[in-house]
Amino acid sequence: MDNKGIVVLGSGLAGYSVIRELRKLDRDIPVTLVTRDSGDYYSKPMLSNALAQGKDAAGLVLTRAADMAAQLGIKLLVDTEVHAIDRANKRLDTTSGALEYDRLVIALGADPIRIPVQGDAADAVLSVNDIADYARFRGLLGNKNTVRAELVEAHSNEHISTGSMRTEVAIMGGGLIGCEFANDLAAAGHAVSVIDPGPWPIASLMPEQAGQQLLAPLAALGVDWRFGTSVSRVDRAASGYLLTLADGAQLQTDLVLSAVGLRPRIALAQQAGLAVNRGIKVDAHLRSSDAAIFALGDCAEIDGKVQPFVLPIMHAARALAKTLAGEETPVVFPAMPVVVKTPAHPVAVLPVARDAVGTWQLRSNSDGVKMEFIDAEQCISGFVLTGRYAAERNEMSKQVGQRALPV
Ligand SMILES: Cc1cc2nc3c(=O)[nH]c(=O)nc-3n(C[C@H](O)[C@H](O)[C@H](O)COP(=O)(O)OP(=O)(O)OC[C@H]3O[C@@H](n4cnc5c(N)ncnc54)[C@H](O)[C@@H]3O)c2cc1C
């Protein structure tokens, strides 16, 4: 147990970013990174737009784990699961043994939410939240195509429609990630159904006029939208699965992908007695209820907000690195629009809090929409830009907080 110093849990964007930022300030503090995966560095957002680009999981790896460790000058423990945090002794219980820390950074990410469904194939529902999930998913898509390609070859004199070459994928959830997968799968030639109890795409972030912009462009790629219903049963069928929806409709599909949201991984922190809410509660310094323990990324709730996106993580990582290097630095978030990777109809949205008071105002609508969220003080506090307006996100970000022009 010679490895005190800073221990970082998790080798995702949050874990690696904070170490990279720290190393710009200090090459000497001992840092150990513990991760239950391979530790290879990849860009998670690529998971939902890699199929159409023909990328397999290996093609998504940007830097191998050993090279990350060498570049960053850290000790890296891969394939190592952390079981418990003993705060009194500043010690971790891991599958590779005990490990002591002076300061601990928790960057454990989030788990896909599993919606309970009935049926004998409920366990066949997939989710893609990391590179290993993607490898599996892509393999299943590919297998189907290989089997069908062999079928076509073996029956070269018979007609097998090219439609049967496509894997049919039913996506549970028409939110941001569901829409991205729908666009990617459809662009890669697969048949896609999106099933969502909500009223329009990405309804939790966008008003109706904006969400509806996605309907026709994705339908033109072959996406079959099913709103106002949900998946009740998944049963095995002669080939693939039979879905039964809450409205009684039935759907035959080869794969079922769930994209209904993520839940911050708080169990370890909770068991250790740290303050948690939806995420691990931290202040603007990313400090938890224990002064020696910090958290950032998808597992953290910073000043009451969980922001599971790249830009907030980068800002948090920079601030936390300074604090860890000795200069107490609160994170200050600028306006951080989220780009939805739906090339069939691009979208950029600066979301507003669920309980925000105000109204969405339509500013322009030709080949897309430009909408602003005007709050109670008549200021712009959110926006959504779709289609040709999506490119204006940086310009719009500058207007956030300013008084809105009369409509
Ligand atoms: C498909 C998809 C597309 C996305 N697209 C975008 C986008 O376009 N733009 C955007 O801003 N955001 C996007 N996001 C969100 C963004 O990718 C995430 O917010 C970010 O990658 C989360 O990083 P993280 O380090 O917090 O978590 P993760 O990357 O999940 O890392 C968590 C780490 O913790 C490790 N771990 C977990 N439990 C344990 C344990 N008990 N012991 C040891 N190690 C453990 C894991 O192995 C992993 O290394 C997307 C997310 C998904 C899933």
Which residues fall within 8 angstroms of residue 305, CB to CB, at 6 or more apart? 353
Q: What is the spatial distance between Cα 270 and Cα 229, in angstroms, rounded to a whole number?
A: 34
pLDDT number for residue 144: 56
Query: What's the CA-to-centroid distance between 374 and ligand 1, angstroms?
Result: 32
Nearest-CA residue for ligand 1 atom 50 is 45
Residues 97 and 152 in one domain: no
pLDDT band at 167, cuts 50/70/90? confident
Which residues fall within 8 angstroms of residue 197, CB to CB, at 6 or more apart? 227, 228, 229, 230, 246
pLDDT 10s digits, 181-229: 999 999 999 999 999 999 999 999 999 999 999 999 999 999 999 999 9
- The residue whose CB lies within 8 Å of the most ligand 1 atoms, and thus the one to mutate among 42, 44, 130, is 44
Residues 300 and 245 in one domain: no
- The residue whose CB lies within 8 Å of the most ligand 1 atoms, and thus the one to mutate among 32, 47, 299, 310, is 310
CATH number assigned to the domain comprising residue 300: 3.50.50.60
Count of structural domains, the chain: 3
Query: What's the CA-to-centroid distance between 298 and ligand 1, angstroms?
Result: 6
pLDDT band at 156, cuts 50/70/90? very low
Residues 156 and 283 in one domain: no
Identify residue 105 by its one-letter amino acid code.
V
Residue 273 belongs to some domain of the structure? yes
pLDDT band at 3, cuts 50/70/90? low
Residues 154 and 102 in one domain: no
Which residues fall within 8 angstroms of residue 14, CB to CB, at 6 or more apart? 107, 109, 296, 297, 298, 299, 300, 313, 316, 317
Which residues fall within 8 angstroms of residue 178, CB to CB, at 6 or more apart? 171, 172, 194, 196, 201, 259, 260
**Average of per-residue pLDDT across 48-71:** 97
| Mean pLDDT value across the chain | 93
Residue 406 DSSP symbol: P
pLDDT number for residue 47: 98
Q: What is the spatial distance between Cα 347 and Cα 343, in angstroms, rounded to a whole number?
A: 8
Residue 334 belongs to some domain of the structure? no
**Residue % of the chain over a pLDDT of 70:** 93
Cα dist from 7 to 18, 85, 107, 287, whole Å:
11, 12, 10, 14
pLDDT 10s digits, 73-123: 999 999 999 999 999 999 999 999 999 999 999 999 999 999 999 999 999
Residues with CB under 6 A from ligand 1: 9-15, 34-37, 44-45, 47-48, 81-82, 107-109, 128-129, 177, 265, 297-298, 308-311, 313, 338-339, 341
pLDDT number for residue 98: 97
Can you give the residue range of the structural domain that contains 182? 122-258
Residues 177 and 189 in one domain: yes
Domain-terminating residue out of 258, 284, 307: 258
pLDDT band at 4, cuts 50/70/90? confident
